[in-house]
């Protein structure tokens, strides 16, 4: 649990104070679904985290921060030994931010301000508000979509996505998965685009990237991660990972070491 700073736990009932602060959390630490009266940013200064809402799951390595607006039920899971930083954004200051859960890229400036806001106390409320204003300005850019894994509403799609979540490395075709769901390949292909806004292969790739981030954060090699997550060789994995995350798996692991994970 936290070593040098304190992460406040989520309130047992909606309407309590929005957690804030920072602390080290162990691999696999999970916070069940809850909501806050204010907005919340969760940043893994080292390690990685997944934030899940009814709209899907967002994974955030140290180059991303997750955003949950006031009132949205959400849960968190942390991968690797994680330096978790929680910043509460008062509801009155949330008007300029997107009104749905999202993940944002973390610039060097934003990282430093997030660390400052979750470091030792001692700043006046006015100083903290000025720092939050910098955060709000940095989050004025459009949110990232590459690491968003949407949740299906259709029951047939849910059967398919549940099978893939249970084993992201499985190589079953959409037609083979369709037999378990009682739907044709053509029907499922149409539903992926209509319900999730992306094709089957794209959705499965993002799911695998989510799991790859967890494997890499846990210290597994690039080759072992590629095999465990369903890629036939490391080269295709590196290409897919770089396209989604914006850096190679090796550079991602090097960054974890630089940040002390």
DSSP labels, 128-167: HHHHHHHHHHHTTSPPB-TTEEEPP-SHHHHHHHHHHHH-
Query: Which stretches of the chain drop beneath a pLDDT of 50?
Result: 1-6, 8, 10-14
Instruction: List Cα–Cα distances, 5 to 8, 84, 118, in angstroms.
Output: 10, 10, 8
* 187 vs 183: CA distance, rounded Å: 6
Kindly list the structural domains of the chain, giving each domain's residue range(s) and its CATH number in brackets, ordered by start. 21-138 (2.60.120.280), 152-258 (1.10.10.60)
- Residue 144: the pLDDT is 85
- Residue 2: the pLDDT is 37
* Beta carbons of 40 and 86 less than 8 angstroms apart: yes
- Residue 61: the pLDDT is 86
- Residue 86: the pLDDT is 95
Q: Which residues pair with 65 in a beta bridge?
A: 43, 104
DSSP state of 90: -
Farthest CA pair distance, the chain: 61
* 244 vs 49: CA distance, rounded Å: 16
* 260 vs 254: CA distance, rounded Å: 10
- State how far Cα 123 lies from the chain centre: 29
- Residue-wise pLDDT for 47-101, tens only, equals 889 999 998 999 898 889 999 999 999 999 998 889 999 999 999 999 999 999 9
């Amino acid at each position: 649990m936290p070593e040098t700073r304190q992460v406040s736990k989520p309130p047992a009932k909606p309407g309590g104070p929005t957690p804030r602060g920072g602390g080290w959390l162990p691999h696999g630490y999970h916070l069940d679904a809850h909501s806050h009266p204010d907005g919340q940013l969760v940043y893994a200064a080292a390690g990685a985290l997944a934030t899940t809402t009814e709209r899907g799951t967002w994974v955030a390595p140290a180059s991303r921060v997750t955003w949950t607006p006031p009132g949205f039920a959400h849960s968190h899971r942390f991968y690797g030994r994680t330096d978790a930083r929680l910043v509460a954004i008062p509801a009155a200051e949330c008007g300029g931010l997107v009104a749905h859960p999202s993940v944002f890229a973390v610039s060097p400036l934003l990282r430093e301000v997030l660390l400052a806001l979750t470091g030792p106390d001692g700043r006046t409320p006015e100083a903290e508000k000025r720092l939050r204003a910098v955060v709000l300005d940095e989050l004025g850019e459009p949110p990232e979509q590459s690491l968003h894994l949407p949740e299906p509403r259709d029951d047939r799609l849910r059967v398919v996505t549940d099978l893939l979540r249970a084993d992201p490395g499985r190589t079953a075709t959409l037609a083979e998965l369709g037999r378990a769901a009682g739907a044709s390949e053509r029907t499922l292909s149409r539903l992926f685009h209509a319900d999730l806004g992306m094709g089957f292969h794209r959705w499965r790739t993002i799911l695998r990237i989510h799991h790859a981030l967890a494997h890499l954060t846990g210290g597994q090699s690039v080759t072992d991660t590629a095999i465990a997550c369903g890629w036939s060789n490391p080269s295709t994995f590196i290409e897919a990972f770089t396209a989604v995350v914006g850096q190679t798996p090796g550079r991602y692991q090097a960054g974890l070491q630089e940040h002390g994970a």
